[in-house]
A and B are shown apart, each in its own frame.
Chain A
């Protein structure tokens, strides 16, 4: 092994966004000590934006992987970094206001948020299963703490414990899958495994067991059907904006990582794997949407809706390489609208001290801006045409139909109708529900107002011009497709 210090410098430049975020995280820790609390959100947000800029800055790169094939820096990797950083930025808009629920806010949240995003970036861009696992653990630990953040609240404790125990189980499954895969091929590096694909089929039982365990680990993280049980309890106990982050950023990273691994293994040639994913997709869509109809608590409703959305994304994943762009696009749009929806629920929770749906009766008149923004996010989630949610669903369905998964697409469209029912029911409650006891109405302060405005504009803009995101995605991806083709 010849060791070259120059290599390390080059590699460090390649993973500059991660190192930059690390520096920002450490700086936030320092600011906490120095009591510079009020500017922490600003620094965290600017740091995330800076990392995103750093990611897309280089015109061309010398190699696709950094650190001896450990982490992807070419292809779609820079865009992944941008999307994940943006999910953090969106969350930060809602955090300072919500944290005021506690008399002594826990400012370490920002540091942990940055670390969580580092973990997500590592997992999404990993080209070695070791990095996948390390990234997963990094952001999982941060999310466990987020769930248990409000220590004095029983629901938060429950959420933290539940998420931690089940998450540890899921990690164990994932790790067993990875180690079996290593036993089968002798590599943990995805490109090496892909190059030795013939070894995979030598021992089909071992291969399907290992990849099955791997998929189980990820299906837990994205809360797909058979592994969804924790979702409502955890989301309703977690501080609301952070629950939004949990439902979007971590899922986006998990979907990208799962998609990358599966596509590198060329999974569409194994019918069994596609069927398993398709089954999970169908059941998630049906279960999430049907159960969400009966929910009275807004956070639980959003949790079940997030299970349903997982189903739609899985549907895109079943389409293989062709659906991967749709998957990332869907997750980005979902990030925008879901963080918006969770953020608004959080604002309402602070003033109404509850997340019960009945409290929202008549908000359309008392808080017109609030209700309008919420309606916009809900319409988008339901997939009503001028909004971005429609475009994302459309992309996913097109990809599924394109790969011949007609049944899946039909079930997806049918369940979307159920979904539209409960989203619109909430809008009806806001505008036409009669509120007997007039109470204080939710109000924006300037950060949340700015955040809601930004997200709403993005929803409208991407609904009308989806190519603003799709175009770069396809451009970056086209590089990736040729590179993957070359690897085979």
Chain B
């Protein structure tokens, strides 16, 4: 094994474990700010994984959009609302059932992904560099690219409707 491939594997496992730790932290932390920080850790690790796939553009966009914009707003809201620590919750049957179902689903996905190991995706193009993404967005994917703006506009109007003060009698 060459130095490069060892480095690659170490790189992957480092970010993979970090990402999972972030994900677990997100759902186990009782403090909302700490949970949000765990999510940021998760986003960073995913960006790291993108880097190991040589998708630099995706990696930077992941950080710029998720860690840099969305999570900042999350933290902003959490701090503004001054959210308290989550109270200790009692275990009940529904939760146990949900946990079991989730475990089952996880097992299913593991099985499926395992059967997928080692096979390459055919027909996929090198997404991740700037040029191919730009090229695709302006040609093949022009329509979805433009139509995303409708989603964003609808969300914008919706947010304003909900947040705006309407006077009632």
A residues sitting closer than 8 Å to B (CB atoms) are 1, 3, 8, 11, 15, 22, 29, 66-68, 70-71, 102-104, 106, 108, 111-112, 115-116, 118-119, 122, 128, 130-131, 134-135, 137-138, 141-142, 144-145, 148-149, 151-152, 160, 180, 182-183, 185-187, 192, 203, 205-206, 209
Q: Contact partner of A206 among B112, B136, B155, CB < 8 A?
A: B112
Minimum C-beta distance from B106 to chain A (A)? 12
Of all chain B residues, the one with the shortest Cβ separation from A8 is B142
Residue contact B151 to A137, C-beta cutoff 8 Å: yes
Query: A112-B154, A145-B158, A205-B111 given as contacts; is B123 within 8 A of A187 (CB)?
Result: yes
Of all chain B residues, the one with the shortest Cβ separation from A146 is B158
Residue contact A134 to B144, C-beta cutoff 8 Å: yes
Residue contact B123 to A131, C-beta cutoff 8 Å: no
Of all chain A residues, the one with the shortest Cβ separation from B120 is A186
Q: How far is the CA of A464 from the CA of B150 in the complex (A)?
A: 40
Question: Is B139's CB within 8 Å of the partner chain A?
Answer: yes
Residue contact B166 to A130, C-beta cutoff 8 Å: no
Q: Contact partner of B167 among A103, A111, A144, A183, CB < 8 A?
A: A103
Residue contact A66 to B143, C-beta cutoff 8 Å: yes
16 A/B residue pairs, CB under 8 Å, sorted by A = A1-B135, A8-B142, A68-B139, A70-B140, A104-B168, A108-B160, A112-B154, A115-B157, A128-B144, A130-B144, A134-B148, A138-B150, A142-B158, A148-B162, A152-B168, A205-B111
Minimum C-beta distance from B84 to chain A (A)? 19
Residue contact B150 to A118, C-beta cutoff 8 Å: yes
Residue contact B108 to A209, C-beta cutoff 8 Å: yes
Q: How far is the CA of A137 from the CA of B158 in the complex (A)?
A: 13
Question: Is B80's CB within 8 Å of the partner chain A?
Answer: no
B138 cross-chain contacts in A, Cβ below 8 A: 3
Q: How far is the CA of A467 from the CA of B22 in the complex (A)?
A: 59
Interface size range on B against A: 35 or more
Of all chain A residues, the one with the shortest Cβ separation from B114 is A205
Residue contact B168 to A102, C-beta cutoff 8 Å: yes
Interface centre among B111, B122, B157, B160 (most CB of A within 10 A): B157
Residue contact B123 to A186, C-beta cutoff 8 Å: yes
Q: How far is the CA of A297 from the CA of B116 in the complex (A)?
A: 50
For the residues of A in contact with B, the DSSP-based class is helix
Minimum C-beta distance from A189 to chain B (A)? 9
Q: Contact partner of B122 among A160, A180, A186, CB < 8 A?
A: A186
Residue contact B112 to A108, C-beta cutoff 8 Å: no
Known pairs A134-B148, A205-B115 / 13 extra A-B pairs, C-beta < 8 Å: A3-B138, A15-B143, A67-B142, A70-B144, A119-B150, A128-B144, A134-B147, A135-B147, A141-B155, A148-B162, A160-B162, A186-B123, A203-B116
Query: A103-B169, A108-B160, A145-B162 given as contacts; is B150 within 8 A of A115 (CB)?
Result: yes
Question: Is B109's CB within 8 Å of the partner chain A?
Answer: yes
Q: How far is the CA of A187 from the CA of B144 in the complex (A)?
A: 15
Q: How far is the CA of A131 from the CA of B142 in the complex (A)?
A: 11
B135 cross-chain contacts in A, Cβ below 8 A: 1
Q: How far is the CA of A410 from the CA of B168 in the complex (A)?
A: 52
A71 cross-chain contacts in B, Cβ below 8 A: 143
Residue contact B139 to A3, C-beta cutoff 8 Å: yes
Minimum C-beta distance from B139 to chain A (A)? 5
Residue contact B151 to A134, C-beta cutoff 8 Å: yes
A145 cross-chain contacts in B, Cβ below 8 A: 157-158, 161-162
Residue contact B139 to A180, C-beta cutoff 8 Å: no
Residue contact A186 to B124, C-beta cutoff 8 Å: yes
B13 cross-chain contacts in A, Cβ below 8 A: none
Q: Contact partner of A149 among B136, B141, B161, CB < 8 A?
A: B161
Q: How far is the CA of A182 from the CA of B122 in the complex (A)?
A: 10
Q: Contact partner of B157 among A8, A111, A119, CB < 8 A?
A: A111
Residue contact A22 to B121, C-beta cutoff 8 Å: no
Minimum C-beta distance from A243 to chain B (A)? 17
Minimum C-beta distance from B85 to chain A (A)? 21
Q: How far is the CA of A185 from the CA of B135 in the complex (A)?
A: 22
Of all chain A residues, the one with the shortest Cβ separation from B165 is A151
A187 cross-chain contacts in B, Cβ below 8 A: 123
A186 cross-chain contacts in B, Cβ below 8 A: 121-124
* 6 tightest Cβ-Cβ pairs between the two chains A and B: A186-B123, A145-B158, A67-B143, A115-B154, A70-B143, A186-B122
Query: A116-B154, A118-B150 given as contacts; is B112 within 8 A of A106 (CB)?
Result: no
Minimum C-beta distance from B133 to chain A (A)? 12
Q: Contact partner of B151 among A66, A102, A141, A192, CB < 8 A?
A: A141
B123 cross-chain contacts in A, Cβ below 8 A: 185-187, 192
B143 cross-chain contacts in A, Cβ below 8 A: 11, 15, 66-68, 70-71, 131
Of all chain B residues, the one with the shortest Cβ separation from A67 is B143
Q: How far is the CA of A141 from the CA of B150 in the complex (A)?
A: 11
Minimum C-beta distance from B60 to chain A (A)? 21
Q: How far is the CA of A88 from the CA of B122 in the complex (A)?
A: 42
Question: Is B153's CB within 8 Å of the partner chain A?
Answer: yes
Minimum C-beta distance from A143 to chain B (A)? 10
B147 cross-chain contacts in A, Cβ below 8 A: 122, 131, 134-135, 138
Minimum C-beta distance from A116 to chain B (A)? 7
B153 cross-chain contacts in A, Cβ below 8 A: 115
Minimum C-beta distance from A305 to chain B (A)? 27
Residue contact B140 to A68, C-beta cutoff 8 Å: yes
A152 cross-chain contacts in B, Cβ below 8 A: 168
Q: How far is the CA of A115 from the CA of B166 in the complex (A)?
A: 22
Residue contact A183 to B115, C-beta cutoff 8 Å: no
Residue contact A112 to B139, C-beta cutoff 8 Å: no
Q: How far is the CA of A104 from the CA of B167 in the complex (A)?
A: 7
Minimum C-beta distance from A227 to chain B (A)? 13
Q: How far is the CA of A103 from the CA of B165 in the complex (A)?
A: 13
Chain B 93-123 interface mask (CB, 8 Å, partner A; 1/0): 0000000000000001101100110000111
